Amino acid sequence: MNMSSDPQSFSMDALITCIDGPATFAALRARSLEYGVVQEDRPGRFACTTSVGLVDLRQDERGLVLGVRARDAGTLQMMRDTVFHLTEELEGISGVAWAGEATRPATDSPSLPANFRLVTVTGAWRINRDFIRLRVSGETLAPFAETGMHFRLAIPAPGRTPVWPHVTPEGRTRWPEGEDKLHNPAYTIVAVSPEEGWIEFDVYTHGRGPTCAWAEGLLAGTEPRIQVGLAGPGGGWFPQTDDLLIGGDETALPAILRILSHHEGRARAVIELADEAAQEAIPEDIRPLVEVLCRDAGGSAADWLEARVDQHGTPGFLWFAGETTAAQRLRARMREDWKLPRGAHYLSAYWTDTPAA
């Protein structure tokens, strides 16, 4: 692992063993284009910047080499895991070896990934009808105040001794499976204090799913699982634009409120809520900035955003998070019609409306 004065000072190279180097180069280049903005593109050399770091693909005397560079060890581990995932999807690749990384004996004690931390729930309180705010405390939380608005929780299965993810000798993250599988929902950071060692986030208590039950138990003081994991940060930073169009439903509300509280340019926002009473979740100073739509009256944030773009054109940055089918529809419109450049949109599925059995 190399370090320098460069903001992206953590770097490693993966030597990729493959049957057909040029074909594998072309395939990895095509996949990298899905994630980043091109910095260099010529025969035998390709580089692009992504939201988390730099990807550098090249053919040299060693063969096919894929380098990753990040600003911290946690982000570097996330990029390495992405490389493992991408190379497993492609045919003709027989191995990925990371240069400069000492191989640990299999008998060593498992180590946590650099982008994973164990934290303890130290506070739980209801902030309104629909949300419970949780505070977790731990160490080395500075990255959560610098890169990425989101993280993934790692909640152990009820009644089992927690088994946490570990880094294998070849350098990839392995998550527990079967009965030890962790529940991994994604959440938005509402507030963070690295100096005091805590992060706060809000759980939407829609009455379905294991996270809601866990949060309600913490609030009642009956939930024993107070040690959990945090993976991240990730999910992008505040949109850098003077012209923001943003919207989503309750699951996106914490992110929308945090973005609006930091945004200094023009912003048009829509929030979809279950009913009029749910508006208490929107702070009074934010209410004049947003249009609220209620589902019980047929309101849809995705429909509102789609009509807005069709009528007024694309904004500097388009942001949406909500139910899966709504996010997929907006992504299709982005590809086929709107064609905003990479880095000028964030369209994400935060939950899936699965009909009850």
DSSP character string of 118-132: EEEEEEEEE-SSSEE
Q: Helix or strand or coil: residue 111?
A: coil
**Based on the domain organization, do 220 and 250 belong to the same domain?**
no
d(CA 281, CA 253): 8
Q: What is the DSSP letter of 102?
A: P
> Residue 47: its pLDDT value, please?
94
Print the domain residue range for 182: 116-234
> Alpha carbon 306 to chain centroid distance?
24
Decide if pLDDT at 72 tops 80: yes
**Based on the domain organization, do 265 and 214 belong to the same domain?**
no
Domain presence at residue 79: yes
Q: Are 259 and 268 in contact (CB under 8 A)?
A: no
d(CA 99, CA 104): 14
* Element housing 17 (H / E): strand 10-18
Residues 183-228 pLDDT 10s? 999 899 999 999 999 999 999 987 678 999 999 999 999 999 999 9
Domain presence at residue 106: no
- Give the count of domains, the chain: 3
**Based on the domain organization, do 124 and 213 belong to the same domain?**
yes
Which CATH number do you get for residue 280?
Answer: 3.40.50.80
Domain presence at residue 141: yes
Residues 101-126 pLDDT 10s? 434 434 345 689 999 999 999 999 99
**Based on the domain organization, do 59 and 133 belong to the same domain?**
no
Domain presence at residue 275: yes
* Element housing 303 (H / E): helix 301-312
Please tell me the pTM assigned to this model: 0.83
Residues 139-158 pLDDT 10s? 999 999 887 889 999 999 99
Q: What is the largest CA-CA distance in the chain?
A: 66
Quick one: pLDDT band at residue 357, thresholds 50, 70, 90? very low
Which CATH number do you get for residue 36?
Answer: 3.30.310.180
Domain presence at residue 105: no
Q: Where are the beta strands (DSSP E) in 71-115?
A: 93-99
**Based on the domain organization, do 175 and 121 belong to the same domain?**
yes
Domain boundary among 41, 64, 99: 99
